[in-house]
A = this chain, B = another copy of it.
Amino acid sequence: MSDVRRGSLSVVGLGPGALEHLTARAREVIAEASVIIGYKTYLRLVADLLKGKRVLESPMRQELARCAEATRLALVGERVVLVSSGDAGIYGMAGPLLEMLFHAGWQPDAGIRFEVVPGVTALSACAALVGAPLTHDFCAISLSDLLTPWPQIEKRLEAAASADFVTALYNPRSGRRTWQIERAQEIFLRHRSPATPVGLVTAACREHQAISLTTLAHMDVTTINMQTTVLIGNHRTFTKHGLMVTPRGYADKYNLQDHLQAESDPDASPPS
């Protein structure tokens, strides 16, 4: 690595959907890149930012090939951006990319500059679309057993259900993996009321976005696919006017009416 130009490698979370939820830092890093690498569907969402750049599109399930290509190009001095949807660190490309960099003998103090640029994760985007389900302790669990043994996933489902975590299920159901979400539903029904609110958000912030609120007992698993995030409420989560809210506990301790009827907050500064 001594005789090459100093490349850089940034793994960038694009946020959900297209450009609306992109951060300023993500935009800046993409603008400064010499090469952009990513899954083609995600690259198309940000096509406007890629004009005039070298772009390496890759199909699904080529995560390691993408990481290796990004590493090779950065090692020869390119300013490489690897894009991830949502946040690059939450079930994202930051992990396999770092493993690949370590494997290639990289050290932070010499050679490639490395940066993870965080983005708006699917969890936040989906929560915003259904109301405020994640205002208390929560878990994220992927139902994909391609890389994780199912008994470990099931243990986590049991723990999340029994300790009353609001729970987000990622990768809940694909064409071939259909029973895992039904098993998750059974496990939660053993610990929570059948009326527990469930939010289903598919393709958040994209053209074919679909949102539905249902309950643990009535959740129709056939409407769920790999682009769906399943949000299961805790024992206090409620729905009202088509929105799903998990109380943080303020209303137990304080009187909302007192606040609403109060004069303007005396601690607030005057209008500037």
Question: Which B residues lie within 8 Å of A247 (CB)?
Answer: 95, 99
B23, B139, B142: the one contacting A20 at CB < 8 Å is B23
A222: interface (CB < 8 Å)? no
Q: Compute how far the CA of A263 lies from the CA of B125 in the bound complex, rounded to whole angstroms.
A: 37
Question: Which B residues lie within 8 Å of A158 (CB)?
Answer: 163
A124 touches B87 (CB 8 A): yes
B90 touches A262 (CB 8 A): no
Tell me which residues from 45 to 68 in chain A have a Cβ below 8 Å from any Cβ of chain B: 53-59, 62-68
Q: Which residue of chain B is the closest to A73 with respect to CB atoms? A: B264
Tell me which residues from 150 to 176 in chain A have a Cβ below 8 Å from any Cβ of chain B: 152-153, 155-156, 158-160, 162-165
User: 0/1 per residue, A62-81, Cβ < 8 Å to B?
Assistant: 11111111011000000000
B132 touches A267 (CB 8 A): no
Q: Which residue of chain B is the closest to A22 with respect to CB atoms? A: B24
Tell me which residues from 237 to 261 in chain A have a Cβ below 8 Å from any Cβ of chain B: 240-243, 245-254, 256-257, 259-260
Q: How many copies of this kind of chain does the complex include?
A: 2
A57 touches B268 (CB 8 A): yes
B20 touches A24 (CB 8 A): yes
A103 touches B256 (CB 8 A): yes
Question: Which B residues lie within 8 Å of A119 (CB)?
Answer: 120, 124
Question: Which B residues lie within 8 Å of A103 (CB)?
Answer: 256-257, 260
The count of residues in chain A whose C-beta lies closer than 8 Å to any C-beta of chain B is: 113
B131 touches A141 (CB 8 A): no
Q: Which residue of chain B is the closest to A69 with respect to CB atoms? A: B265
B260 touches A68 (CB 8 A): yes
Question: Which B residues lie within 8 Å of A139 (CB)?
Answer: 137-140, 160, 165
A24 touches B21 (CB 8 A): yes
Name 8 A/B residue pairs within 8 A (Cβ), A-sorted: A20-B23, A40-B269, A64-B254, A89-B133, A102-B245, A109-B241, A138-B140, A159-B163
B265 touches A99 (CB 8 A): no
A108 touches B243 (CB 8 A): yes
User: 0/1 per residue, A4-38, Cβ < 8 Å to B?
Assistant: 00000000010110011111110100000000010
Question: Which B residues lie within 8 Å of A53 (CB)?
Answer: 272
